[in-house]
Amino acid sequence: MSRRGDSDDDCCSKRRVAYVYSPEYIETCDSLSKVPNRASMVHSLIEAYGLLKHMSTIKPQLATIEEMAKFHTDSYLEHLHKISQDGDNDDPQSVDYGLGYDCPVVEGIFDYAAAVGGATLTAAQCLLDQKCDVAINWAGGWHHAKKDEASGFCYVNDAVLGILRLREKYERVLYVDVDLHHGDGVEDAFSFTSKVMTVSLHKFSPGFFPGTGDLCDTGLGKGRWYAVNVPLEDGIKDDRYYQIFTSVMQEVRAQFNPEAMVMQLGADTMAGDPMCSFNMTPVGVGKCLQYVLGWQLPTLLLGGGGYNLANTARCWTYLTAAVLGKTLSSEIPDHEFFTEYGPDYSLEISPSCRPDRNDTKHLDQVISTIKGNLKNVV
C-alpha cells in the first residue's frame, strides 16, 4: 500500500522547496538530551525515500548574538554563553533564566541555540530572497523559550526569530502552531502587535504544560484579537481536527489576510507519542498543511515536539512528501535506522483506541467564539 503526501498535481510540482541541512547541523541537533539522534532519524528517512532530489538543500548559518538579540535579552544570551563554556550546573543565576529541570545546563548549549536559531533564519532568508516558496527546518520549532528564559526544552525561540526576519519584508505574518503544547513563547512575543497573528491548536488541561492558551486569551493592547487559541481535550483524531482547523483558518485568512506564514508542526500529537494525549496520524496533519499551502504564501515549516522518535520521523517525512506532492511506499526503505521502525516497518501510524474526550457541542461553541473574536480584527 502506498501513502500519498499529495497528488502529483501542477501546483505541487511547481512548488520550490528548500530544505535546511548540513551534517554539522544534524550532529549538533542530535545532542539535545530530550530527543537524542532525532534529527538524524528524520533526515535519514527523508533521504532514504529519495526526497532530497526534489528539494534544494541550503546550508544553515550560525545565528550571531546580534541576530538572537532581536528577541532574546543580552543578559540571557550572555549567561547562556557563559554556562555553555564551563557546563556549570550550580550557577545560582541559571534558575532565574529557566535553566535546570526541563532545560538542563550542558556544555555547548549556546552553540546548539545558535545552530537552531541560525537554521531558521537561513530558511526565512531563503524565502525573503524568493529562492523558494516553502522552506523547511524540521530541527527547529522551539516555541516555548521567552526573551529572557529557557522553557520546555527550548533554549532559543527560533520561531520568533524567523517571524521577525520575515517581518523585514512582509507586513502581516501568520504563525500557526499544531504542536500538542500551546505555543506560549511565540504568542507572548507578539501579544501586543497587530502585525503578527498567532494561532495555536493544543491540549488545554489542568496541570498540563505550559498551562496557557485558553480560549479567552486573545492578545493585549493593539494585539488584542490577534492571538487565536483553540483548546482541545485528549483523544482527538484526524477528521475532527481537520474540521476544526479549516473552520478556524478560513476565518483567519479572511480577516487577517496574511502575506507570509510560519507553521510549527510538532509531532507529539501523533498516536503512540509518550505524551499519550491526541490520537492523530500524519495523514490528518498533512491535510491541514495542504489546506494552508493552498493559499500559496511564502511559508516556513518548522518541527517542534515529538518524543516517539520513529513516529516523528514518519510524520515529518510524510509531510515533506506532501509539500512536494510525492507518493511514498508504506514500506520503510532500508537505511541506517531501519530497525527503529519495527515490528511492522511501515510508514503508517495507526490511531489507538483512546477515546475522544472532545464534546461536539463544546467544540462548536469554541469555533463560534473564535469566529466572533476574529470579526474584531481590523
Annotated binding site for substrate, which residues?
102, 152, 307
**Which of 313, 292, 352 has the alpha carbon at shortest distance from 37?**
313
**Please, what sign has the CA dihedral across residues 323, 326, 332, 333?**
negative
**Which of 91, 378, 21 has the alpha carbon at shortest distance from 226?**
378
Distance, CA of 41 to CA of 30 (rounded, Å): 9
Q: Which residues contact 152 (CB under 8 A, 6 or more apart)?
A: 102, 103, 144, 145, 181, 209, 210
User: Residue 21 to residues 108, 137, 141, 224, 302: CA-CA distances in angstroms?
Assistant: 20, 8, 15, 37, 13
Q: Which residues contact 57 (CB under 8 A, 6 or more apart)?
A: 18, 19, 20, 21
The three cell numbers of residue 191 are 501579544
Distance, CA of 141 to CA of 149 (rounded, Å): 16
At 50, phi and psi to the nearest 5? Answer: 75, 25
Distance, CA of 272 to CA of 258 (rounded, Å): 34
CA angle, 32 then 36 then 38, to 5°: 105
How many beta carbons lie within 10 A of that of residue 355, not counting itself?
A: 10
Q: Which of the residues 144, 182, 202, 335 is marked catalytic?
A: 144
Binding site as annotated, residues: 102, 152, 179, 181, 268, 307
How many beta carbons lie within 10 A of that of residue 333, not counting itself?
A: 16
> Catalytic residue at 54?
no
Catalytic residue set? 144
